[in-house]
Amino acid sequence: MCYAIPGKVEKIEDGTVVVDYFGEKRKAHNELAEISVGDYIYAQGGLVVNKISSAEAQSILAVWKETFFQLQEVDLKLSRLNLGNQDADQKLLEVLDKASQSQKLSTEELLYLLDLKDKKKVELLFKTANFLRQKYFKNSCCVHGIIEISNYCRRSCQYCGIASYNQELKRYRMTKDEILQAAKEAIQIHGFKSLVLQSGEDCGYSIDELADIIKQIKEKTPALILISFGEIGIEGLEKLYQAGARGLLLRFESSNPVLYKKIHPGMDLTSRLDHLRKAYEMGYLILTGGLVGLPGQSKEDILNDIFLSKEQHAQMFSFGPFIPHPHTPLAKEDPVAAQEIIKVLAVARIIDNTHAKILVTTALETLNQEALRGGLLAGANSLMLNVTPLDYRMLYSIYPDRAHQSEGSIEQIESTVALLRSLGRAPTDLEAF
Ligand code: SF4
């Protein structure tokens, strides 16, 4: 099972390759020395991951060829937009018409969209975002695997079930061999081309140990490696980049400094943004975003979260719902409705038409089983499948009853592929050319 389609290199120019996918041209950044015109490669997150033999590529492409065009047709059909034919109020139609033409919306117009309540109006917002997603990203959808290597954390974020204050939780830390084995299975058996390694801010691994793990994964099994270990310091980021990590998943959760401090005791928004900025300068792909539905959060805060993600050069937006965990100080707060998050994804797509991929988080799926489909039909084009060994998965309890927490990797993959096919999405993963 593969989560990317091999493409043929048509042109190489200053570290960038132009790749052909059944006639569609995409660009990717290349760091591999051995790539020549005519080679077949896999790419993820806009980076060339590895080269494969022409014979292997031809056999995969033969299987995909017919399917690829069928999927495109399904996607085109599902993303058609006809605002002229809609029975909706004039203001909404005018704002969405502007958005569909990629015109910049004012803050007032964006807040108006975030505030929509009426089901039909919200549906029209989702359709417009899906139209924009199709226009600029076509039917590509990236599928990352994620391995949660440890649930130890030194922080005490007020919403998080694995925060240090939660004494009820059984803690685990995967050994190096367990991590290498899980990565090998994800990449070699399940076909992931992109893998996120995640943990709490765990002082149990040294940066050198993490670097060694990343290096060994890269040597044995080529893949795009993204890290999500919290604030590991600028030197830590540099070392892990040298070891081969190329993406950083680090959400700032709230762009409002007062709210940030309230939910992150002892932490400071400036330090988090500094990590993101320096990581971007080093060459990391940035995956960031916020928590939606936090107590005391306003619609303006949420809009600023989207703006801040864009300012941080996010290559992928990650916005997840606040879900109260019973062993946190926010246990008695209300969770946010799935539709509110999907609205945020749709508005994010309107704000960033062309650059950022948008993730449907597992947390959103936890709120509502249909949310993955809903998010993908409202501008999102990325998802992550949890490939943490089942013995540990239940213990990474950042919020309760997580979706897929007891589901094997194969089941998850099969249901995801079936969903992607029903929506006409193909697992290509390159910058739109
Ligand atoms: S949100 Fe991250 S840093 Fe905060 S307690 Fe949870 S795992 Fe630790």
For 192-204, how does the pLDDT look when each residue is reduced to its tens digit (9 = 90+)? 989 999 999 998 9
pLDDT average, residue stretch 89-108: 96
Q: Note whether 162 and 293 are same-domain residues.
A: yes
Q: Note whether 256 and 348 are same-domain residues.
A: yes
pTM of the model: 0.94
Q: Note whether 224 and 361 are same-domain residues.
A: yes
Q: Note whether 330 and 428 are same-domain residues.
A: yes
Q: Does 41 have pLDDT greater than 70?
A: yes
- Answer yes or no: is 129 within a domain: no
Q: Does 255 have pLDDT greater than 70?
A: yes
Pocket lining: 344 vs ligand 1, CB cutoff 6 Å: no
Pocket lining: 321 vs ligand 1, CB cutoff 6 Å: no
Q: Does 427 have pLDDT greater than 80?
A: no
The per-residue pLDDT for 341 is 95
Nearest to 211 by CA among 163, 186, 243: 243
Query: Could you give the CA distance from residue 232 to residue 313 in angstroms, rounded to a whole number?
Result: 20
Q: For the CA atoms of the chain, what is the radius of gyration? A: 21
Parent domain of 45? 7-65
Quote the ligand 1 centre to 11 CA distance (angstroms). 43
Under 8 Å between Cβ of 353 and 427 = no
**CATH code, domain with 292:** 3.20.20.70
Last residue of a domain, one of 65, 83, 111: 65
**CATH code, domain with 20:** 2.30.30.140
- Answer yes or no: is 409 within a domain: yes
- Answer yes or no: is 54 within a domain: yes
Last residue of a domain, one of 47, 65, 83: 65
For 294-336, how does the pLDDT look when each residue is reduced to its tens digit (9 = 90+)? 999 999 999 999 999 999 999 999 999 999 999 999 999 999 9
Q: Which atom of ligand 1 is nearest to the CA of 162?
A: 6
Q: Does 4 have pLDDT greater than 90?
A: no
Q: Does 138 have pLDDT greater than 50?
A: yes
Q: Look up residue 242 and give its two tokens.
A: 């040298």
pLDDT range class, residue 413, cuts 50, 70, 90: confident
Q: Note whether 322 and 425 are same-domain residues.
A: yes
Quote the ligand 1 centre to 197 CA distance (angstroms). 15
Quote the ligand 1 centre to 406 CA distance (angstroms). 22
Return the sign of the alpha-carbon dihedral for residues 313, 317, 322, 326: negative
- Answer yes or no: is 376 within a domain: yes
Q: Does 1 have pLDDT greater than 80?
A: no
Last residue of a domain, one of 18, 49, 65: 65
Number of domains in the chain: 2
pLDDT range class, residue 433, cuts 50, 70, 90: very low
- Answer yes or no: is 132 within a domain: no
For 42-58, how does the pLDDT look when each residue is reduced to its tens digit (9 = 90+)? 988 788 988 999 999 99
Q: Does 431 have pLDDT greater than 50?
A: no
Q: Note whether 257 and 153 are same-domain residues.
A: yes
The per-residue pLDDT for 360 is 93
Q: Does 85 have pLDDT greater than 80?
A: no
424 conformational bin, left if phi > 0, alpha if psi -120 to 50, beta if neither: left
Weakest-pLDDT range from 20-29, 109-118, 346-355, 417-426: 20-29
Q: Note whether 171 and 302 are same-domain residues.
A: yes
Helices (H), 42-188: 54-78, 90-100, 107-114, 119-137, 176-184
Q: Note whether 310 and 422 are same-domain residues.
A: yes
Q: Does 428 have pLDDT greater than 80?
A: no
DSSP strand pairing (16-21 vs 7-13): antiparallel
Pocket lining: 160 vs ligand 1, CB cutoff 6 Å: yes
Q: Note whether 246 and 369 are same-domain residues.
A: yes
Pocket lining: 375 vs ligand 1, CB cutoff 6 Å: no
Nearest to 145 by CA among 113, 171, 115, 182: 182
Nearest to 68 by CA among 430, 420, 401: 420
Helix axes 119-137, 90-100, angle to 10 degrees: 10
Residue with tokens 């059909």: 77
3-class state of residue 215 by DSSP: helix
Q: Look up residue 427 and give its two tokens.
A: 């697992």
- Answer yes or no: is 293 within a domain: yes
